[in-house]
Copies of this chain bind each other. A is one copy, B any other.
Amino acid sequence: MYYGKKCIFVANNIIVVTLSEENYLKAIYLISKYGGESVSTNAIAERMDTKASSVTDMIKKLADKSFVNYKKYQGVRLTEKGRLAASNVVRKHRLWEVFLVDKLNFSWDEVHEVAEQLEHIKSEKLTNELDAFLEFPEEDPHGDPIPDKQGYIKNSQKVLLSQVSTGSVCICVGVKDSSVEFLQYLDKLSIGLGTVFTVASKEVFDESLTITLNESPLSVSKTVSNNLYVKIKN
C-alpha cells in the first residue's frame, strides 16, 4: 500500500490532509470571506499562482474527502469540515505571525513568508500552547482576526480609511493589502497599528486625503486610503 509517506500528516494511521490540500483550503476560505461564498476555479488559480487545470484536479480530491461541495463548472463551497480545517490553517498562520513579531523581533513585512511554512506544522498541543504563550491574541500583526479553536472569529467594526468623513479622529487597526511594499511604505509614513490621526481634508481631484499625524499634515493617496482599515475614535 502506497501512501506517499513523507509530507503527509497521519493521525491514527488515517491520512488527514496534505500540505497542498491545506493551501487550497486556505485559499478557498479566504477568497470566500471565511467560508461563506462559493468560489470559482479561476479565482483559486489566480490566488495560488497556479493553473486552472491543477485547481480542478485538487478540487476533486477535496470533494472526495468532503472538504468542499463541488458540481462541475459550478465552483466550490467549503463544507463545515472544510471550513474548520481551513480556519485552523489560518489560525496557525496568524498566531505564528504574532509570535514572530512579538517574540522574535520580526517586522510586520517579514513574517508572511515564514508563516506560510509554519502554518502547516501539525500539532494541536503546539497551536494551543502557542496561543496561550502569546496570551490569546485576537489579531495578527496586520490587524487580521485570529480564528479560535472552533473556527470562530470575532468580527470588528473596522472600516476603510477611504470611507471615513472629514474631521474624524481615526485609529489604524489593519491593512487590506499586506504586501511587503505597502507595509514598508506605511513604515516610511510612520503609520502602524494603533497610530492615531485625524482626517483633515479630502481632495476632490484624485481623492487623496490630508491627515494630521503628530500635529503635522500628511497627504495619502487613494491607493493608501483604500487599503488601510481604521476605527473611528469618537
Q: Using a CB–CB distance below 8 Å, which chain A residues touch chain B? A: 5-7, 19-20, 23, 50, 100, 103-106, 110, 113-114, 117-118, 120-123, 125-126, 129-130, 133
Distance to closest chain B CB from A4 (angstroms): 11
Complex CA–CA separation, A118 to B114 (angstroms): 11
Are B117 and A104 in contact, with the CB atoms below 8 A?
no
Give the residues in chain B near A123, CB-CB below 8 Å.
113-114, 117
Interchain CB contact (< 8 A) of A133 among B104, B120, B125: B104
Main secondary structure of the interface of A (DSSP, over half): helix
Give the residues in chain B near A103, CB-CB below 8 Å.
133
**A110-B125 CB under 8 A given contacts A23-B6, A130-B104:** yes
Give the residues in chain B near A7, CB-CB below 8 Å.
7, 19
Are B126 and A114 in contact, with the CB atoms below 8 A?
yes
**A106-B121 CB under 8 A given contacts A6-B23, A20-B6:** no
Distance to closest chain B CB from A17 (angstroms): 14
Are A104 and B118 in contact, with the CB atoms below 8 A?
no
Complex CA–CA separation, A6 to B123 (angstroms): 21
Q: Which residue of B lies closest to A5 (CB)?
A: B50
Are A104 and B129 in contact, with the CB atoms below 8 A?
yes
Interchain CB contact (< 8 A) of A126 among B104, B121, B129: B104
Complex CA–CA separation, A126 to B20 (angstroms): 23
Interchain CB contact (< 8 A) of A100 among B20, B117, B126: B126
Are A106 and B122 in contact, with the CB atoms below 8 A?
no
Distance to closest chain B CB from A100 (angstroms): 7
**A117-B106 CB under 8 A given contacts A6-B20, A6-B23, A100-B126:** no
Query: Told that A6-B23, A117-B120 touch, could you supply 6 new A-B pairs with CB distance under 8 A?
Result: A6-B19, A7-B7, A100-B126, A114-B121, A114-B125, A117-B123
Complex CA–CA separation, A125 to B50 (angstroms): 28
Give the residues in chain B near A125, CB-CB below 8 Å.
104, 106, 110, 114
Give the residues in chain B near A19, CB-CB below 8 Å.
6-7
Complex CA–CA separation, A114 to B19 (angstroms): 15
